[in-house]
A and B are shown apart, each in its own frame.
Chain A
């Protein structure tokens, strides 16, 4: 599809996200940059990646692609149109089946093209109010080992689960913020569980409610 249409669509969506949520980026630990990055965030709503992308500088937004589940976003023509043609998301299969390409390949391909990624390491939307963040899947570790040169930036998305809860279509206008933390890098000889736990902790530490209560 036309590049111009894509850039208009992304500006339009960013504008829409702003009207509903007044979304503001809070850069605490990292700064807006044109460096190639992997933004990883908590996931509670289909609006999450639109909200996160709208907080990025315009040029960075154009080359940042969200990783989304093929079983949801590829399931109807309308969703495919939004995901593939308008938002250039990277659709991956959550269930690895034999014969199908491994999801890692699609992500590494995007990184090899020089684009940035938005990923949700919980793997699914969190609907458990009692739990701030589900355990991380291993994709984040695999990306970190394959591409240690790309910065991993934790991004805490605030309130989006209240704006567009799972299974709902109309957004409730509530103020949202996206808090960008300091990049997390894989340490020497760090194993998978240790790295995933540390990355998860770095993301949790950005939640302002957690800061307030402790």
Chain B
């Protein structure tokens, strides 16, 4: 009999294998190669790579997850700061974001120091970063600069670090199964992105916010959210939830994920770019893939912590 970890791995492998088979068949039957089809194949290949990297990190348990998400934060922060206007006088604040804030935040996760983990960035960094900027003496676009810096660390580091922080929740009767909870969040939220994409491509007619993102449609959103919630309910065995609770929490997480994608699109539109970067073939940058996760992870974390943790 397979244990839950093996069952999950086999399931993911089967899903990716069938996705690759479908894209292979589509490519063979297509009269001419289209951009959409090429992008689909590239996206699926990138999914194989992402699942492989995540699977490798999970072999090392909490340590692996902390290191992996610290790296994901690094890549996301790099994309975020590249897009925001910075000035020469921001140099030390920027260095501090990468060299101090990322390591300290993930060390707090690793050492399970919850009390400081939740306030280090929103309280200490929030106050000290603008103070450093003020000390540099450059007041040009001051509020815009400190706001963008604050947003960059909140999204790329603070929110992101809530994924590995799930490993540290004391859940009675759930000992040794925390990796499954992380997998539940990632599969439902990323699955919801994929399902929204599929429903949007098949039935998409009415854009939710056409001026922000023409590709996000009501049909895609509702179809994606409904199917992702069902997926969450079906994966309840990964979690301490009942099937109904799992479906409801998946619905909340995926709704947050959608909002994350919408906010990320608004930032990209404002800055005049289509993607955050080019790290992940077919998908764009790290933030293009992680935007839904950063919005859902803190909410998911606090729901689980409030109702299930001791």
Contacts and interface: CB of A to CB of B under 8 A. Distances in A.
Contacts of B62: none
B99 A22 contact: no
Nearest to B89: A165
A174 B278 contact: no
A31 B66 CA distance: 41
Given A22-B78, A129-B88, A212-B272, A172 B98 contact: yes
Contact of B277 (A162, A172, A175, A212): A175
A173 B88 contact: no
B27 interface: no
Contacts of B74: 173
Contacts of A162: 86
Contacts of B88: 129, 165
A172 B95 contact: yes
Contact of A174 (B81, B99, B272, B279): B81
Contacts of A112: none
B289 to A, nearest CB: 15
A212 B272 CA distance: 8
A168 B88 CA distance: 10
A165 B278 CA distance: 24
Nearest to A24: B278
B91 A174 contact: no
A174 B78 contact: yes
B79 interface: yes
A9 interface: no
Interface of B is mostly: helix
A133 to B, nearest CB: 18
A196 B99 CA distance: 42
A175 B285 CA distance: 11
A174 B82 CA distance: 5
Interface residues of A, number: 13
Interface in B63-95: 74, 77-79, 81-82, 86-88, 91, 94-95
Interface of A is mostly: loop
B277 A22 contact: yes
A175 B82 contact: yes
Nearest to A159: B82
Nearest to A21: B78
B117 to A, nearest CB: 23
Nearest to A127: B88
B274 to A, nearest CB: 12
A62 to B, nearest CB: 26
Nearest to B77: A173
A212 B270 CA distance: 12
Interface string A131-168: 00000000000000000000000000001001001001
Given A24-B278, A172-B95, 18 more contacts: A22-B78, A159-B82, A165-B88, A168-B91, A170-B99, A172-B81, A172-B91, A172-B94, A172-B98, A173-B74, A173-B77, A173-B78, A173-B98, A174-B78, A174-B82, A175-B79, A175-B82, A175-B277
16 contacts: A22-B278, A24-B278, A162-B86, A165-B88, A165-B91, A168-B91, A170-B95, A170-B99, A172-B81, A172-B91, A172-B98, A173-B81, A174-B78, A174-B81, A175-B79, A175-B277
The 8 closest A-B pairs by CB, nearest first: A175-B82, A172-B94, A174-B82, A173-B78, A165-B88, A173-B98, A212-B272, A170-B95
